[in-house]
Amino acid sequence: MLRRARDFVLDILRQADLLLLALCCGAALFGIVMIASATNYMGTPRYVIVQFCATVLGVGLYFLVSLLDMGELSKKWKWIFLFNILFILLLKTPFGVDDGTGNRAWLKFPFLPVSIQPAEIIKMTFVLLLAKQLAWLKEERDLRSVSSIGMLAGHLLFMVGVYYVISGDMGSALVYIFIFACMCFAARVATRWFVMGLAGGSFAFYLLWELDFISGYMKDRFLTLFDHNLDPQGVSWHQNRSLLALGGGKLTGQGLFQGTQTQSEQSWSLPARHTDFIFSVIGEELGMLGCLLVIALLAAIIIRCLVIAKNAKSRMDAYICVGIAGMLIFQTIINIGMCLFIMPVIGLTLPFISYGGSSVVTLFAAMGMVSGVQKRSMPEWLRK
């Protein structure tokens, strides 16, 4: 019995992409250390414990998801699509809670010690369904036709529309749009459709702005990018403190657990330091070198996803890898841009680094999807 269990575990380890796992674990462990520093002033290890447990659970899911055949799973696309809708609709039930910014983007169940963000989980199923749709249209129809583009756009607009109307979470909605663009680019959708989509999206944003469908607070988050002195004690406060933290770290930083703002309990200190602005904590305590290390780690994970996409045996598998890489690219650019005061604050965390149990678990599961693609691209004799 023990021998069978050992052989089973060894088989899983042999088939999983251990390089990708090592990169993800390295980033996650680095994140745990920085979360420990960012929450040290609170005097509680709760955040570190939650993040560590989420990482352990995520690693387990990485191996489990690696064993799944996404092609077979995608045949249940109707049920997966129904799951996406019902999961989002749960936000309208008493289980849906406000995240503190006016967005109803979290689920809090009495039998769970932590909250769950549906947007994080649905990212994976959205990528899977979109990959299947793109592969089917590529093989059975013509991606250049109006009807095909209409089907793709309808899928995106329905998912993003339902999620945004219910949750009000613009940041996650934008992630879905970027994932969609990356996967369509990989499928070689004609450039004219991207131009038309960008023009249409810009016009829609203008109308939403002018008709006041975008809240005044969110408008200010965009306007302050062009005037950093706009409401310095209010909407600009977070990012102004972020710039001070990054500048205070210089090249090598002030030292781990030694950051002036990071370790301060004062109200003037860096806010959201273990979530949205953890990159600023890294800059203050580990300096530019620490920031470059994080960027290098995340870039290596993204490049590994794209390499696996290039070697994938099927279109659908390749599109899955590209979609997940796109998710990482967008969240990384936006989060770091938020900290540098060149992007609006829209609540996107730094992948693997920021605090967030559901985010870390989902990221490892998504990497498991990529690992599964790598396994299926191996020669048959290596998979046995």
pLDDT in tens, 18-77: 899 999 999 999 999 999 999 999 989 999 999 999 999 999 999 999 988 888 898 899
Q: Which of 63-77, 104-118, 277-291 has the lowest mean pLDDT?
A: 104-118
Own/partner long-range contacts of 70-75 (Cβ < 8 Å, ≥24 apart) = 70/128, 70/131, 70/316, 70/317, 70/320, 70/369, 70/372, 70/373, 71/314, 71/316, 71/317, 73/128, 74/128, 74/129, 74/131, 74/132, 74/316
- Between 37 and 264, the more confident residue is 37
Model pLDDT for residues 73-101, shown as the tens digit of each residue = 988 999 999 999 999 999 888 888 876 66
What value does the CA radius of gyration of the chain take, rounded to a whole number of Å?
21
Model pLDDT, residue 381: 43
Angle value at C-alpha 221, between 172 and 204, nearest 5 degrees = 60
Model pLDDT, residue 143: 83
Percent of the chain whose pLDDT exceeds 90:
53
Model pLDDT for residues 322-355, shown as the tens digit of each residue = 999 999 999 999 999 999 999 988 888 999 999 9
Model pLDDT, residue 68: 87
pTM: 0.92
Give 293's pLDDT tier (boundaries 50, 70, 90): very high
Mean pLDDT, the chain, rounded, equals 88
- DSSP per-residue letters across 224-245: TTT-TTSSTTTTTHHHHHHHHH
- Is 380 a residue whose pLDDT tops 60? no
Model pLDDT, residue 212: 78
Model pLDDT, residue 5: 64
The pairing of beta strand 96-97 with beta strand 106-107? antiparallel
